[in-house]
Structure 1
Amino acid sequence: MTPTEPSNLPLYIILNAGSGHAETDLQRQTIEEELARAGRRFELTVVEDPGELAQVAEQAVAKARQAGGIVVAAGGDGTINTVARATLSSGCPFGVLPQGTFNYFGRTHGIPQDLAGAVRALLTAHVQPVQVGRLNDRIFLVNASVGLYPTLLEQRERDKRQYGRSRVIAFLSAIKTILGFRKQLTIRFDLGGAPETIRTTTLFVGNNALQMEQVGIETMKLALEEGRLAAVAPRSIGKLATLGLLVRGAFGQLGGSGDLIAFGFRRMTVWQRGWYGRRRVKVAIDGEVTHLAPPLEFEVIEDQLLLLVPENPVRE
């Protein structure tokens, strides 16, 4: 298969069962019915234990390489990241069936948000290489961050489990987290010249043009389109000013704020004095919180993901 041709190659699909059995059964039925109707060869694996997702992804990639097939991730941005990590250097095309709350990766590339539509779009899709970011030894497709943002994600997941999954819950959870967050980072970063220092609550590195567009930072959308990553950090400001940034972002007006530092880059090293001697630092990568050894190295990597994108992308 060439990089631009549609294909009838077999699909090796990994479905993350994180949403509960009833919803997973419906998702599985939808996928199987659409593919059976199209006469497409496929193998669908449902992952019940999130801890087994990476191993199952590696197994699916091995099968796809042997059969000349396609690896497909069905889930949210975190699931997509894990399966993409296994697929990246394999040479296999990569498909996505978005099933998360925000689905930034799928939406950026015009993949339908309803599952049946996403499956049908996958059947006639063509391959388009897409940019991949890396933080230390982990890739990211949407964003990676340190500071307030990982804490915000942890609290959001706790609140969603208690109150339900919705964007309103996510927004209210963010307000609560900002009001209770006390840490400030004094971060030194090196872009290959003289090191610079900023004081901030969080450093956010984006790799998703749609996300930058929605919060209103058009210059960073342009940086991504030019093959760079987008660094965004609030200046050292109070909690009310930070809440103001949250509201501006919700209305797509962050680009006009003087309380924000933003710049594009291809490679950046980040560290701070408090990290010396620490074995791990909390970070967030594509919506999943983990710990990495400092210093933190952000970069655009040479390998590109061979993503299957629809012939007729859905644009919001």
Structure 2
Amino acid sequence: MQSIKPDPRTPFFIVLNAGSGSSETAERRAVIDEVLTQAGRSFELTLVDDPENIAAIAERAALQAKAAGGILVAAGGDGTINAVAREAVDKGCLFGVLPQGTFNYFGRTHHIPEDLGDAVRALLDAHVQPVQVGVVNGRIFLVNASIGLYPRMLEEREIDKKHFGRSRFVAFLSGLKTFISPHRRLRITLELDGKERALRTSTLFVGNNRLQMEQVGIAPLSDALEDGKLAAIAPKSVGKLGMLVLMLRAMLGRLGEAENLVTFSFRRMTVRPRKFYGKRRVKVATDGEVTQMDTPLEFRVLEGQLLLLKPAAAMEEQAESARGARDTAWEQA
């Protein structure tokens, strides 16, 4: 798709997550207001002060953006970005991101600055690029989706963050505690390309983010994401020590070297429980948010992509990389 730059008069409709404190929220609002006002850009900002209201607020902002021919913008962590992106896809709006989370995988993958002022300024000069979206049972995910131990880890991490603060160190310690604690194994059947495969694992992780795959050290799967596929990771049945070793390998970026790991890529996959302890519903995490879903679970790449505003510098770097790859291929031919 040819790079398109939106009309500089196009208004922004921003959904801002209030975060952990009123002073921090006021500071973020002030930064957004200052940058956009100085640029003479029209915008409307809506604050999410209760996570329970984010879906309704995002839908309302998306309808306003669609009616005005505007750009829908999410300001928050990956969960907030997911909720607003869901409406952008549904309403066909252009979509911008102001990353404000702990890990910011989506923003970092697309080279969107983590500094709020820089991210707002990047929106003003951004170009539109369609990006891949994953979906499970109708719910989209931009970074990852999972069942089993990983959703449990996310729930416990939220509890620990409320007690000890939001930081990557707290997230790591919380994850370590969960991974070495006793947990049940999933007994599931995967259907891929008409073939079935039985799997026993503690967690099934489906990734849609190249940066995350590269960080844990599974390069082939990160390449698959560029080919319109999703990446699946599932540890084989191992004990506490085995789980600890896997986690350490992931931290060191060497998870791909593990022997007790199942990895593959796909465009569509059905997951059915062989034995889900009598339950027909299962907890599914999508971009850090945990919900209950009916089985079977249908994972696939969404038809029709998210129209993301990507910084101009990132687009030029991407174009230069593509030119370099073509030149290399030509020289080798």
User: Which TM-score band (shorter chain)?
Assistant: over 0.9
Could you say which residue in structure 2 is the equivalent of 1:239?
240
Q: Distance in 2 between matches of 1:57 and 1:201?
A: 34
2:165 equivalent to 1:191: no
Could you say which residue in structure 2 is the equivalent of 1:259?
260
2:137 equivalent to 1:142: no
Q: Matched residue of 2:314: which SS?
A: coil
Q: Distance in 2 between matches of 1:175 and 1:14?
A: 33
Q: Matched residue of 1:161: which SS?
A: helix
- Aligned 1:123-202 pairs, distance under 5 A: 123-202=124-203
- Aligned 1:198-237 pairs, distance under 5 A: 198-237=199-238
- Please give the per-residue CA displacement for 1:15-64, whole angstroms capped at 9, x wherever unaligned: 01132211111111110001011111000111111111111111111111
Contact residue 187 and residue 276 of structure 2 kept, 8 A: no
Q: Distance in 2 between matches of 1:3 and 1:292?
A: 37
Letter in 1 for 2:133: V
Q: 1:275 to 1:103 in 2, by over 3 A?
A: same
Letter in 1 for 2:283: K
Could you say which residue in structure 2 is the equivalent of 1:28?
29
Letter in 1 for 2:142: L
Contact residue 14 and residue 47 of structure 1 kept, 8 A: yes
Contact residue 148 and residue 204 of structure 2 kept, 8 A: yes
Could you say which residue in structure 2 is the equivalent of 1:271?
272
Q: Distance in 2 between matches of 1:142 and 1:164?
A: 23
2:4 equivalent to 1:4: yes
Contact residue 188 and residue 275 of structure 2 kept, 8 A: no
Runs of 5+ unmatched residues, structure 1: none
Contact residue 149 and residue 183 of structure 2 kept, 8 A: no
Tell me how far 1:242 sits from its aligned partner.
0.7
Q: Distance in 1 between matches of 2:61 and 2:169?
A: 36
Q: Matched residue of 1:100: which SS?
A: coil
Q: Relative to structure 2, which stretch is displaced further, 66-75 or 305-314?
A: 305-314
2:97 equivalent to 1:99: no
Could you say which residue in structure 2 is the equivalent of 1:52?
53
Q: Distance in 2 between matches of 1:257 and 1:179?
A: 17
Could you say which residue in structure 1 is the equivalent of 2:329?
none
Tell me how far 1:313 sits from its aligned partner.
2.7
- Please give the per-residue CA displacement for 1:248-298, whole angstroms capped at 9, x wherever unaligned: 111111111111111000000001123496342111100111111111110
TM norm structure 1: 0.96
Q: Relative to structure 2, which stretch is displaced further, 279-288 or 149-158?
A: 279-288
Tell me how far 1:7 sits from its aligned partner.
2.6
Could you say which residue in structure 1 is the equivalent of 2:327?
none
Runs of 5+ unmatched residues, structure 2: 318-333
Contact residue 92 and residue 306 of structure 1 kept, 8 A: yes
Tell me how far 1:193 sits from its aligned partner.
2.2
Q: Relative to structure 2, which stretch is displaced further, 212-221 or 178-187?
A: 178-187
2:89 equivalent to 1:88: yes
Could you say which residue in structure 2 is the equivalent of 1:66?
67
Tell me how far 1:215 sits from its aligned partner.
0.5
Q: Distance in 2 between matches of 1:198 and 1:276?
A: 15
Contact residue 81 and residue 97 of structure 2 kept, 8 A: yes
Letter in 1 for 2:4: T
Contact residue 148 and residue 181 of structure 1 kept, 8 A: no
Q: Distance in 2 between matches of 1:132 and 1:19?
A: 28
Tell me how far 1:228 sits from its aligned partner.
0.1
Contact residue 12 and residue 42 of structure 1 kept, 8 A: yes
Letter in 1 for 2:246: L
Structure 1: 4+ residue segments shifted above 6 A: none
Q: Distance in 1 between matches of 2:32 and 2:147?
A: 36
Could you say which residue in structure 2 is the equivalent of 1:115?
116
Q: Matched residue of 2:52: which SS?
A: helix
Q: Distance in 1 between matches of 2:259 and 2:181?
A: 23
Q: Distance in 1 between matches of 2:256 and 2:231?
A: 13
RMSD: 1.5
Q: Distance in 1 between matches of 2:303 and 2:63?
A: 22
Identity %: 60
Q: Distance in 2 between matches of 1:45 and 1:196?
A: 46
Letter in 1 for 2:173: L
Q: Distance in 2 between matches of 1:264 and 1:196?
A: 14
2:308 equivalent to 1:307: yes
TM norm structure 2: 0.91
